[in-house]
Amino acid sequence: MARYLSRENPENFGRARNIYNFLILILGKMYGASVVLDFDFLFDPSYLPFKLPFNSNEYIKVLARISISPKLSKEYLYLFDQARTSQNNRKYYLLPSYIWGYARVLLWYLDFRDAANWLDFKQHFRLIATNLLNEKLIDCRQDALISMIYLLSFREYNPDFCNLGSDEHKLALQVVAKFANNQVYSIQVSQEQSLNELLVKYLEGTATNQETRRLLEVK
């Protein structure tokens, strides 16, 4: 089997890679299957050499979709500020496909009471805001804004987070100002208000229960 999968045998390796890629795509459509099946190996860096030929953007989205269990959600969110590969030290949070998945793990799966004990939500909030400001996340600003809004939920567990005058609060207001003339919308969240406006409401603590429910329905 090892020889069959070896890059020294390109024909067999190509076939095995295609089968692997197809199975991963199927797994990504199964979502909740990770509750009963062990998908930890998909997050194992030792599999990276075999995964590299795979469309990395789709692979990252697959990881997000299957992160339904607390363990896999943690695995996915821990990727946030890791380098993608040893050859390419670009951080995961700079990849639009990762921020797409990050927003959806927050929306779909995360247990905030548990995550408050291990997730570095302040750092994540600052990095997303900073990279929106310097336009490194401009291609995924909708998902970045949704992530910022949802990360504000951690205020319930840390009253010092994003207080008036804090670094996080200042960065968030700069993000609002930057996109003041370029409103970002998500139809699933609100057809009347932009994400920019909702971010202000969440910063001020004036978002309604209905707006919060709509945010939870984003897919």
| One-character DSSP codes across 55-98 | -HHHHHHHHHHTTTSHHHHHHHHHTTTSBS-SS---BGGG-HHH
Which range among 5-9, 66-70, 181-185 shows the weakest confidence by mean pLDDT? 5-9
By the 8 A CB rule, do 64 and 31 touch? no
Q: What is the pLDDT of residues 108-163, one digit of tens each?
A: 889 999 999 999 999 999 999 999 999 999 999 999 999 999 999 898 899 899 99
pLDDT tier, 85 (very low <50, low <70, confident <90, very high otherwise): low
By the 8 A CB rule, do 27 and 61 touch? no
Q: What residues contact residue 15 under an 8 Å CB cut-off, 6+ apart? A: none
pLDDT tier, 5 (very low <50, low <70, confident <90, very high otherwise): very low
**What percent of the chain is modeled with pLDDT above 90?**
39
Query: pTM of this prediction?
Result: 0.80
Enter the tokens of residue 119.
Answer: 């997730």
Instruction: Specify burial of residue 164 (Cβ count, 10 A radius: 0-12, 13-18, 19+).
Output: exposed
pLDDT surpassing 60 at residue 206? yes
By the 8 A CB rule, do 3 and 41 touch? no
Top pLDDT among 102 and 31 is at: 102
Top pLDDT among 185 and 35 is at: 185
- pLDDT, position 2: 41
pLDDT surpassing 60 at residue 182? yes
- pLDDT, position 46: 55
- Closest to 199 (Cα-Cα) out of 109, 139, 128: 128
| 103: helix, strand or coil | helix
Distance between alpha carbon 198 and the CA centroid of its chain, in Å?
Answer: 19
* Per-residue CA distances from 144 to 16, 17, 115, 162 (Å): 35, 32, 19, 17
- pLDDT, position 36: 45
In single-letter form, the type of residue at position 150 comes to Y
pLDDT surpassing 80 at residue 3? no
Q: What is the pLDDT of residues 16-48, one digit of tens each?
A: 455 455 555 555 555 454 444 566 667 765 554
Give me the long-range contacts of 1-8 (CB less than 8 A, separation at least 24).
5/50
| 156: helix, strand or coil | helix
- pLDDT, position 66: 84
